[in-house]
Amino acid sequence: MTAAEIASQIKDKANQLGFSLVGIAPAARPDTIDFLHQWLSDGHAGEMGYMARRKDAYGHPRGVLPDVSSLILVGLNYFHGESNSTGTGVGRIAKYAAGSADYHDLIRSKLKSLAAVLHEASPGCRSRVIVDTAPLLERDFARIAGLGWFGKNTMLINKQEGSYFFLGGILTDVELPPDQPHLTDHCGTCTRCLEACPTDAFEAPYELNARKCISYLTIELRGQPIPAPLRSGMEDWLFGCDICQDVCPWNRKATNTEESGLLPDISSVRDAASFLLITEEEFKSRYKRTPFSRPNREGMARNAAIILGNSGDEKWISALNAGLQDSSYLVRGASAWALGRMLNEQTRKFLLARRTAEADASVLAEIDSALGSQEEHEKE
């Protein structure tokens, strides 16, 4: 079987498996590796230290698979037109995380089936399936494989699919005929994504400062408080953010995914307040195999406190008072800030009571700020 015939079989199988995009790229130095190194040097990765630790491995896909010759890149649509809100409408969740399936498991299973076609056609070949975890710039190779172009919001965009799709791939030592790279940028003069970001995370077109991105703040910033100047900009985003994609004209015609595991299934998330009341054991039992496990219970409770504070709705005072007694100083601090956003006789009483028992200096600072925040908040 010729390399071209193998490539054709792989693409046919990819379509059968439900991948809406598939292309092949040669193993080479990524186009944006120098930009990545500068981005890391500028500190834009924030607390994602693993990227700096692996920066040399990003320089070539052989850092993932020695003797690699080709990369098979696929895209899996995860769009759904449903609201991002939790069950009672308090707190939005990024579309990719709203389904019942962990996308890593779903795509990895499909890619293993796709790799089986490769191994059957080329016995003895080597391959490695990758889904979002290996030191590989998938977006670069997806563009080289013809799957789309880089939008000003840094997302890969495809004319037919928009940007609501996961990327995955197979690295192999089989040399396959590459597809034509996508060389044209179709964003034109549009800057809607840049203007819509409530935390001003874009330093410039095509340049994202992750430290200001809501997705980073709610997912990747673990073990730390969310910087106070960015909290109100989180609005009601509990986990992740879709704003820069929602406003993109190329997503106007996005069609719903056919993967049942990626369709909204958020019945287990009653509302954001539930993360302030749930125990560690309950959290692990309920969310172990979901994206929420990445920020863990502490991170989700911290996020919940902030968006409840942003809501200004006094019906959440009781839940926030529970957060004020949490074992995590991060949750107590965020809850104190939130109670300060709705300061009244009751919340002042809760904050003062907590102040007498609090030993953590950072939480005490949050409480003192909250107690003196009413006048400033009214000015906003």
- Which CA distances in Å does 13 have to 16, 17, 117, 118? 5, 6, 8, 10
CB 264 within 8 A of CB 242: no
Distance CA 309, CA 236 (A): 9
- Which CA distances in Å does 9 have to 3, 226, 282? 10, 48, 45
- Which SS3 state, helix, strand or coil, does residue 230 take? helix
Fill in the amino acid letter for 341. R
Q: Which of 109, 353, 366 is nearest to 228 (CA)?
A: 366
- Token pair, residue 241, equals 């953010």
| CB-based burial, 63-100: b 16+ in 10 Å, e otherwise | ebbeebbbbbbbbbbbbbeeebbbeeebbbbbbbbbbe
Our answer to whether residue 132 is catalytic in this structure is yes
Backbone phi, psi, residue 101, to 5°: -100, 150
Choose the catalytic residue: 31, 102, 132, 360.
Answer: 132
Q: Give me the active site residues, please.
A: 132
